[in-house]
Amino acid sequence: MNNQEERLKAGKRVVTITLTPAVDMFVQVEKLMPGTLHRIPKPEKFVGGKGINVAKALQAFGTPVVATGFLGGANGRWIESQLQHLGIDARFVSTATETRLNVKVVDSEGVLTEFNSSTTLPSPGEWTEFETRLAALAGESEWFAFCGKLPEGCPAHWYQEAIAKAKELGLKTLLDSSGAALRHGILAKPDVIKPNLHELEELTGLELSSVEKVVSVAQEVVADGVGMVLVSMGASGMVVVTQDATWEVRVPKVEVVSSVGAGDTVVAGILHGLCTGKSMKETIRFAAAAATAAVTTAGTKRPELADVLHFEAAIQVVERRANR
């Protein structure tokens, strides 16, 4: 059986790739005041990392998913156990170094202050094992979703090379990263990228102070070969550009419980729509509804499918123009 036949047999499965996962510890305070003592409720721990957040949401939406990357030490074992408890197929490579711990402090007004640990570069042997695992997963899947920052010391062009290899094997690819990793990664022309507004400004060196400017820049990226550019803009909604059309998405005002991982839920929503045969407009609406549901959910818990469907009717998707 060849690779294409194996993928058809497996269905449109997504592989999420998280090179820098984390345990996210959330702490609630009335008001964060540096230099003072804070009395806090019991902290809550969540499984973190962009690709892992995507995998959790895809699992909740009913889309087959495999989560891979690097995990190490007690934190890594805890993450793997949590994913297995959720029913997620976790195929991580074990590392000799401990998976990082991040601390997220949220005040009574919903303001988030983050303390994120640095990442450690896996050993050459661990990288070799991981790339062998990716090659094996390629024959069973439809999409590779490359999500998050690269480990410190990793070459900035790693995503670019990995996307190129995946495309050679007939896979569809998504990239959700920032900085140099995104700048190099788009050179491999992935099918989808999902920068937020700040990341797009960083990529282009421009201040994107209007929707028109966002659209113009996103169209330039698509013209250079990227299949779809989805720009998330928080409460201002989203802009989506493909070779065929441009859409502006408006979202309802909701009470924000936690914005952590909302962008990852957008990624999961797009992948879910593309894997289940929804139209582009339906896919965009679902992704925006997923992000809206996500910000009403505590920590990095992902919304259930019913939560997303509840918000779909409130999402406005307007086709601004055909890109022909």
- Contact by Cβ (8 Å): 161, 175: no
Rounded to whole angstroms, how far apart are CA atoms 259 and 6? 38
Distances (CA, A) of 222 to 162, 178, 226: 20, 17, 5
The count of C-alpha atoms lying within 13 angstroms of the C-alpha of 91, restricted to the half-sphere facing its C-beta, is: 16
Give the C-alpha separation, 233 to 237, whole Å.
5
Residue with tokens 């495309």, as numbered in its chain: 167
In three-state secondary structure terms, 27 is: strand
Residue 265 in tokens: 């839920």
Residues with a catalytic annotation lie at: 264
28: tokens are 């609630």
Distance CA 54, CA 49 (A): 9
